[in-house]
Amino acid sequence: MTPQLSWYLALSAVLFTIGVVGVITKRNVISMFMCIELMLNAVNLTFVAFSSFFRDLSGQLFVFIVMTVAAAEAAVGLGIIIAVFRNRESLDVDDASSLKL
């Protein structure tokens, strides 16, 4: 049987929820970053599913822009992570919870 729109939406909701659980639970800042990427991808799946079922181009173009923004965010975010690591010697977000070194 052909997959329906609701199947894709359900899958996207499940992936998003797993991403949220990861962001809340993880202590390592790189793992948190990866869970954020998972959330972005779940949203991408929703956009592409709607674009495909309603034959509208704007969904896929928005996904294109989201991917570009995610790439830019990855570059700058990892630069920040490395800079923070240089100063604090630890990748634990609990250790970075105050502004004082």
Partner 1 sequence: MLGLFFILFAGLAVGCAISLVVQRNPLYSAISLIGVFIALACLYVTLAAPFIAAVQVIVYAGAIMVLVVFVIMLLNVEEEERRPLRLRSLIPIALMLASVLFAEAVFIIYFVQANPATPTRNVSDVGLTSSIGGGLFTTYLLPFEVTSILLLMAIVGAITLARTGGLLSPRAAVVPGDVVLAKEMLDREKYIDVLTPVSAHTTKEAKDLLGIEDEGQSPKT
Which residues contribute to the site for partner 1 (CB under 8 A)?
1-11, 13-15, 18-19, 21-22, 25-28, 30-31, 33-35, 37-38, 41, 44-45, 48-49, 51-58, 60-61, 63-65, 67-76, 78-83, 85, 91
Cα→Cα distances 56→30, 47, 59, Å: 35, 10, 7
C-alpha Rg value of the chain to the nearest Å: 17
Q: Cβ of residue 82: shortest distance to partner 1, in angstroms?
A: 7
Residue 28: beta bridge partners?
Answer: 92
- The smaller minimum CB distance to partner 1, of residues 3 and 98, is found at 3
Taking the least distance from each CB to partner 1, the nearer of 57 and 99 is: 57
Nearer to partner 1, 93 or 99 (CB): 93
Distances (CA, A) of 12 to 6, 9, 24, 80: 10, 5, 19, 29
